Amino acid sequence: MTPDHWPPGTAKLIPKGWDIILQHHYTPTGKPGPDRTRIGLRFATAPVTHRVTTMSMMNVRLRIPPGEPNYRAEGRGFIPAGADILSFFPHMHLRGKAFEYRAIHPDGTRETLLRVDPYRFHWQLAYRLAAPLRLPAGTRIECSAWYDNSPNNPFNPDPAATVQWGEQSWDEMMAGFFDLRYDARLTLEELFRQKGPDTPK
């Protein structure tokens, strides 16, 4: 992955005593091999006024029929307090064909935030915004993902399979990750307990 860089005063919080856990999805080859994974951290040197957290909207109930060329899955989330989106990272596997993020603002207007079409598993990218996108309190976030489980998909491991959520590349996932920036005086729990003027009761 390319590293995340944020301006002075913006950082992720790693509380004292916490562990950093990396999840790798390895496919066995029957032979031993090296793992050269490394992680680099740059610590904040100035007072932190904004915290960043990575959120996700998932749909783990995938059930893609055999041969289906345009299966659609949905994910939804809610942002009670005002916050900024910094970046998006859509994640699917070999049958993924398109991914879209949308915002439904408190006044009911809808806005497409990102559409990746075509999506390709082999060049997954983080889409970093040129400037933070402010979301007012009460904004809803929706994600849609489309899958091609037909023989016309050249990456499809098995068009005859019914495909469900799983960690191997021949399974599927639907995860709409995004980085959210908010007031550092709030904990994450407090952020989602906040009630803006347009927040549904």
Three-state secondary-structure class, residue 189: helix
Domain annotation for the chain: domains and CATH numbers: 53-191 (2.60.120.230)
At 27 the pLDDT is 78
Q: Which amino acid type is present at position 164?
A: Q
- Is pLDDT at 197 greater than 60 in this prediction? no
Q: What is the CA radius of gyration of the chain?
A: 19
pLDDT band of residue 192 (cuts 50, 70, 90) is confident
What percentage of the chain has pLDDT greater than the value 90?
Answer: 69
| Percent of the chain that is helix, strand, coil (3-state, to 5) | 5, 40, 60
Three-state secondary-structure class, residue 110: strand
At 194 the pLDDT is 60
At 125 the pLDDT is 86
Per-residue DSSP letter, 66? T
Q: Are the C-beta atoms of residues 57 and 77 closer than 8 Å to each other?
A: yes
Q: Are the C-beta atoms of residues 58 and 144 closer than 8 Å to each other?
A: no
As a residue count, the chain comes to 201
What pLDDT, in 10s, does the model give residues 70-117? 999 999 988 878 899 999 999 999 999 999 999 999 999 999 999 999
At 82 the pLDDT is 83
Q: Are the C-beta atoms of residues 175 and 58 closer than 8 Å to each other?
A: yes
Instruction: Give the predicted TM-score (pTM) of the model.
Output: 0.87
